[in-house]
Amino acid sequence: MSKNKVSSNKDNKDISSLEEDVKIDSETDTEVSDKDVNIDEDIPIEDTVEYKNKEIQELKDQLLRSLAEGENLRKRTIKEVADAKKYSHISFVRDLVSSVDNLQRALEAVPDDKSQLSEPIKNLIIGLEIVEKEMINSFEKHNIKQISPLGEKFDYNLHQAMFEVPTNEKEPGYVVEVSQKGYLLHDRLVRPAMVGISKKSEEETTEQNNKKNEQK
């Protein structure tokens, strides 16, 4: 009887101890849960949404920039390929125009009065003139344009000034002599025209200086 009572008391103590442990664990869990809730409550939901929207906008901007760069690269590549085809034979054109120069120099050496020339020479000259005409036509067909700027305003993009010519007939800066014609392939310069440009004559300059001195 005594033993049973002792055992019963022991069991009651164990149960009480277990209930206290469960209560402590429950309180601890509640505290942790409360802390978690408090942490979440410290970050307003508006800030979280704003951050996400900002992040989405940045990604959109990056995507748009990437698309724009890709489109620019595509256009640049297309242009480079087109230019490569368009100007691929520019070196050949440079060599060819030199041959035309020699042909034209030969024709320029022919005297105006051909009556003293023999028939074979006359026929040769006629043949050379036909060849020159055919070559110029072929140039135009392949977008090779001749630059012969006599009487035009000097253009440093197309002309190369070799010397100056004092004259009263033209304003300064005009082409009054062409030593060698230039050429364009489409819109690209193959060779500039070699020219002489006008400048004021010494007599005109002296007269202007005298007038200025008289006015003083």
10-residue stretch averages of pLDDT, the chain, 216 residues long: 47 53 51 46 65 86 92 91 87 90 89 86 91 91 92 94 91 93 93 94 61 58
* Residue 81 within a domain: no
Tell how far CA 26 is from the center of its chain: 73
Of residues 133, 123, 148, the one with CA closest to residue 100:
133
pLDDT value for 37: 45
* Residue 212 within a domain: no
User: Cα separation of 156 and 154, whole Å?
Assistant: 6
User: Cα separation of 76 and 152, whole Å?
Assistant: 36
CATH number, residue 98: 2.30.22.10
* Residue 73 within a domain: no
pLDDT value for 195: 96
Task: Note the pTM of the prediction, 2 decimals.
Answer: 0.59
* Residue 115 within a domain: yes
User: Cα separation of 111 and 127, whole Å?
Assistant: 16
> What domain range is 174 assigned to?
87-201
* Residue 25 within a domain: no
pLDDT value for 49: 78
pLDDT value for 16: 56
Exposed, middle or buried, 132 (CB in 10 Å: 0-12/13-18/19+)? middle
Run of H or E including 176: strand 175-180
Q: Tally the domains of the chain.
A: 1
